[in-house]
């Protein structure tokens, strides 16, 4: 009877081991891998057009750029130091101020990646993640441009690009003779510079020799949802992180969900008021294209879309744009 009971116990133990995959085969490894992927830290990214201040009166120091940079650093730390930050409109004064400011925030964990090209409207990436590759992308027509990095993350390789697409200040058609610079072949002559910029960014990502787990295009696109520029990115497989997270579309009446526009007097365009610039459009985006093996989950909130608790030397806001803070996970 004891032998029979012992045999029954051994059979039950063996069956339990097989059912749990605890047989030293691939089932146990797959379970461990899945658990590891679930535990992998998400990638947290933010974007903000920080306002170069080129058109601010000289006596305002680029619309109180030192105060605005300080407000920006406070926002970064309040957001628990996102892994990647894309900044647009880095003019000469911001170029002077940002290195020391960045070195002093988040325990000095950020590295600055950018190219100081001959442009008043440059783009900059701040990263807490190790850079594998980086580069400058000169999109058509002055002063529009982009900068990108590939970083190593728990989610795998991530390509992060920040850009400023054409605004009405220089947005000609790509038709021959219309544009001061010839548009690249990827842009048909029937589209304008703003949409061409989107086509150039898609072409850049499509040409990457090694696909990433996540490809991210962020920045001030100077286009609203439903317009051809945004549609071109969506058609190329990118998702709008703001909407993917379940957020409502921009409400111009309440300014909720909006990041740009407004109608405030110069030079401070509302940055020196608690109300702020009066955003009435959503033109700043985090667009994400997941890799082949990535089932994407997204959370997103506004970044720099609320006034400082108290004004800093009369300044309530860091810029005349709001941004987006997104958490991305495969």
Q: Give the DSSP per-residue string, 148-206.
A: EEEEEETTEEEEEEEEE---TTS--BSSTTTSSSPPPTTS-TTSBHHHHHHHHHHHHHH
Residue 53 pLDDT? 93
Q: Distance between alpha carbon 251 and the CA centroid of its chain, in Å?
A: 22
Residue 120: what pLDDT? 82
In angstroms, the CA 269 to CA 319 distance is 9
DSSP-assigned letter for residue 218: E
Strand partners, 301: 325
Which domains are seen in the chain, by residue range? Answer: 1-34 (no CATH), 43-329 (3.60.10.10)
Q: In what order do the strands lie in the sheet with 214-220?
A: 131-137, 145-153, 156-164, 214-220, 284-290, 239-240
**pLDDT of the residue at 34:** 41
Between vectors from CA 200 to CA 249 and to CA 85, what angle results, nearest 5°?
Answer: 55
Q: pTM for this structure? A: 0.88
Residues 76 and 82: their CA atoms lie apart, in Å, by 7
Dump strand ranges (E) for 201-283: 214-220, 239-240
pLDDT at residue 17, rounded to an integer: 39
CB atoms within 10 A of CB 147: 25
pLDDT given at position 303: 98
Q: What is the pLDDT along the chain (330 residues), one digit of tens a residue?
A: 333 333 333 333 333 333 333 333 333 333 334 444 467 899 999 999 999 999 999 999 999 999 999 999 999 999 999 999 999 999 999 999 999 999 999 999 999 999 988 888 899 999 999 999 999 999 999 999 999 999 999 999 999 999 999 999 899 999 998 888 899 999 999 999 999 999 999 999 999 999 999 999 999 999 999 999 999 999 999 999 999 999 999 999 999 999 999 989 889 999 999 999 999 999 999 999 999 989 999 999 999 999 999 999 999 999 999 999 999 999
Angle between the N-to-C axes of helices 228-235 and 193-206, in degrees from 0 to 180, rounded to the nearest 10: 10
């Amino acid at each position: 009877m004891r032998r029979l009971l012992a045999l029954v116990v051994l059979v039950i133990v063996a069956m339990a081991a097989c059912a749990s995959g605890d047989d030293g085969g691939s089932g146990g490894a797959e379970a461990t891998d899945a658990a590891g992927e679930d535990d992998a830290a998400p990638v947290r990214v933010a974007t903000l057009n920080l306002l170069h201040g080129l058109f601010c009166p000289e006596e305002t120091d680029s619309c109180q750029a030192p105060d605005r940079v300080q407000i920006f650093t406070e926002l970064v730390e309040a957001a628990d130091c996102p892994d990647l930050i894309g900044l647009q409109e880095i003019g000469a004064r911001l170029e002077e101020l940002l290195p020391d400011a960045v070195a002093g925030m988040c325990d000095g964990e950020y590295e600055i990646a950018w190219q100081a090209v001959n442009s008043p409207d440059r783009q900059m990436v701040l990263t807490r993640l190790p850079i594998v590759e980086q580069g400058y992308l000169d999109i058509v027509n002055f002063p529009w441009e982009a900068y990108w990095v590939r970083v190593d993350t728990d989610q795998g390789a991530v390509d992060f690009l920040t850009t400023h697409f054409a605004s009405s200040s220089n947005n000609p058609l790509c038709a021959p003779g219309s544009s001061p610079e010839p548009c690249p072949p990827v842009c048909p002559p029937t589209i304008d510079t703003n949409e061409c910029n989107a086509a150039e960014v898609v072409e850049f990502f499509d040409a990457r020799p090694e696909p990433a787990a996540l490809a991210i295009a962020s920045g001030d696109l100077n286009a609203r949802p439903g317009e051809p520029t945004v549609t071109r990115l969506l058609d190329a497989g990118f998702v709008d992180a703001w909407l993917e997270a379940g957020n409502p579309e921009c409400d111009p009446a309440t300014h909720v969900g909006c990041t740009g526009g407004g109608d405030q007097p110069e030079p401070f365009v509302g940055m020196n008021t608690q109300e702020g610039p009066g955003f009435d459009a959503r033109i700043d985006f985090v667009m994400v294209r997941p890799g082949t093996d990535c089932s994407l989950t997204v959370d997103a909130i506004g970044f720099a879309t609320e006034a400082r608790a108290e004004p800093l030397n009369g300044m309530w806001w860091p810029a005349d744009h709001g941004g987006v803070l997104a958490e991305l996970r495969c």
